Amino acid sequence: MGPQALQLCEKLRNTGIIKDSRNATIEEQVAKFLHVLGHNVRNRTMAFFFSRSRETISRHFHVLQAIISLEAEYLVQPSGSTIPPEILTNERFYPYFKDCIGAIDETHVRAKVPREEAGRFQGCKDYPTQNVFAACSFDMKFTYVLARWEGTISYSRILKNALSREDKLIIPPGKFYLGDVGFPLKHGLIIPYRGVRYYLKEYSARSPQTVREIFNHRHASLRNVIERTFGVLKKKFPIIGSGTEPHYAFETMVDIVIACCILHNYLMGVDPDENLIAQVDHELSRNHDMDDQVASNQEDDYRQGSNLRDNIAAHMWHDYLTHMNHEL
């Protein structure tokens, strides 16, 4: 184990939830659990790999609860008392977004549910998913995570629940988050202008042409941090990012999502994987380039359709007036 993993083991030891046993130290138990998260393998594979019984492997899975007990330490909501340095030091964002404390979004994690419940969980995917709502700061750390939602649930309903539940998303007075157009516009949540074209890349063949376009462009550049954070999380922990059906029941997968977010924050604090972050950034850039091309084609298609509609309407109106004049 490296120093970061040993430091994590010591933190988990201090929780009192896991202890050295006659057959396995805490370090071995944590190593098994991290192997499951990082490789998305079944218990029988773990039993073979570690030369332990499947019962022993299952028993050591209680490391999950020890990690979740660290939630208060590693999932900390911002107080809004300071301006994030990523905004303060960037003239594209400061002073315009000086009261922004982070970004929110949702992502889908494949779920294993009874067949009779699958319809409630099968939304935008061809398979059941749980919808995970999260907020993050601009240093790519999660500050709030709400799992367990069905894949069919709407953005607005998730947000409403997140703002009203006992363990709610807290937005300090005068502060706001950035959200995508799927969320409702509120005093504590700023979304892009709807129906307004924007380009995410800093240098584009076409620069923003209007006040709304430049806002959407910079909003997207800043809000992109939540996409990057989700991307790194899923690459780091294939158990929630592989897209294959989970080996664990739904309630266990809910806890696993929370544990992965806690571990993500821990690792971002002690040893950020710059290569992994760069890989995610490259993939997102490629995807956004494709989105820009699709949006550009849609824009051209819309303009052609709009011109055709205008021409038909003008012709119709001309003939109508002509007919009325003849009758007079």
Per the domain annotation, does 275 fall within a domain? no
Per the domain annotation, does 327 fall within a domain? no
Q: Which of 35, 68, 101 is the last residue of a domain?
A: 68
Least confident of 44-48, 148-152, 222-226: 44-48
43 shares a domain with 189:
no
Query: pLDDT tens digits for 32-47?
Result: 899 889 988 877 777 6
80 shares a domain with 55:
no
31 shares a domain with 93:
no
| Neighbouring C-alpha atoms within 13 Å toward the C-beta of 267 | 19
By CB atoms closer than 10 A (0-12, 13-18, 19+), residue 224 is: middle
Non-local CB neighbours of 10 within 8 Å, separated by 6+ positions: none
**Radius of gyration of the chain from its Cα atoms, rounded to whole angstroms:** 25
Tokens read off for 26: 């805490």
- Domain region containing 51: 3-68
Q: What is the pLDDT of residue 296?
A: 52
Least confident of 42-56, 137-151, 189-203, 244-258: 42-56
DSSP collapsed to 3 states, 63-98: HHHHHHCCHHHHCCCCCCCCCCHHHHCCCCCCCCCC
Query: pLDDT tens digits for 150-186?
Result: 988 888 999 999 999 999 999 999 999 999 999 999 9
- What is the domain count for the chain? 2
Q: Strands across the sheet with 176-178, in order?
A: 142-150, 129-136, 100-110, 176-178, 189-190
160 shares a domain with 32:
no
115 shares a domain with 60:
no
Check pLDDT > 70 for residue 84. Answer: yes
159 shares a domain with 12:
no
What average pLDDT does the chain have? 86
Q: What is the pLDDT of residue 116?
A: 85
Across the range 58-67, mean pLDDT stands at 85
Per the domain annotation, does 291 fall within a domain? no
Buried b (16+ CB within 10 A) or exposed e, 45-72: bbbeebebeeebbeebbebbebbebbbe
Q: The whole model's pTM is what? A: 0.84
Q: What is the pLDDT of residue 301?
A: 63
Across the range 287-310, mean pLDDT stands at 61
Tokens read off for 208: 């923003």
Check pLDDT > 80 for residue 14. Answer: yes
133 shares a domain with 43:
no
Tokens read off for 117: 């419940």
Prior bond to 184 cis, omega within 30?
no
Per the domain annotation, does 316 fall within a domain? no
92 shares a domain with 174:
yes
